[in-house]
Amino acid sequence: MSASPPPPGRPRRPTRADIIAPGFSTPMDSPLVPPFPFSFRNAEIMSVVYRTDPAAATALLPPPLELAGDVVMVHIYRMNDTDWLGAYGEANIMIPARLPGMKKAAGYSPWFFLDAPGGIAQGREVHGQPKKFARPRLRRRADIHLAQIVRDRVEVFTATMAYKQRRAAIADLKRWFDFSVNLNLKAIDHIDNRPAIRQLTARKLARVKVHECWRGACTVELRPHIQAPLWRLPVAEALEGFYWRADFTLVAGEIVHDYLARKPQSKRGKGGES
């Protein structure tokens, strides 16, 4: 005799197949982490590029990654309409890096900051992105774009650029390095304190549709904060800023280096993909 379906509102008990399936998350009846793919619509981004101390950037790179430039790229996102996660703010701080054998540099992220619990959990659990809580802000103030990261009421990052003065293409921003490919160090332990995962991962944004893009001169200011240490990448020269608005989709990525493999091997891809 077959079992009756559960009453409306009562969750079905998961099977082993459910638990080991890709995209499974807890709590089982109200999962926090969205499965791939999920899409972002009408996201507003301010991206600024500045020159920094190469030795300081190298100190933040896990081996075998190699530094591929002396710049920092900071993206401040206002996510207006995201599957599962809704509206929230995010900041991604990138430095150009490559694995030995990669032809083009990608963006390694020493820090992320978000104000969305689901986004923090998904980034850390799935990608290995070093996401922490803060309040990224992207606003218009009269004739400027203003981007900030605020942690414990400290404005640890502030950038400005003029409001929509010079049209651009997203390729103008990519000339610094291919930021659409994001490298991260994923580190997760077993409950018994043994290392479970030690990997370098890569993800690439898919189905990117840019609605508008603007560029111009920018200012960048950092303030010290022990829990949001962007000051470790000091500003030597503010180079340029971009404001752009786009749709894109986050899809499954790949493992490009496994530290726990018996003979750790890196995947050396062509172009910007690893």
Segment holding 26, helix H or strand E: none
Q: Please give the backbone phi and psi of residue 251, each rounded to the nearest 5 degrees, phi first.
A: -120, 170
Distance CA 176, CA 256 (A): 22
The tokens 């991260």 sit on which residue? 184
* CB 90 within 8 Å of CB 136: yes
Distance CA 122, CA 139 (A): 26
The token pair that represents 156 in the structure block: 């640890």
Distance CA 202, CA 120 (A): 17
Whether the link from the prior residue into 37 is cis, omega within 30° of 0, is: yes
* CB 202 within 8 Å of CB 181: yes
The token pair that represents 36 in the structure block: 């791939």
CA angle 206–208–212, rounded 5-degree value: 165
What are the residue numbers of the active site?
131
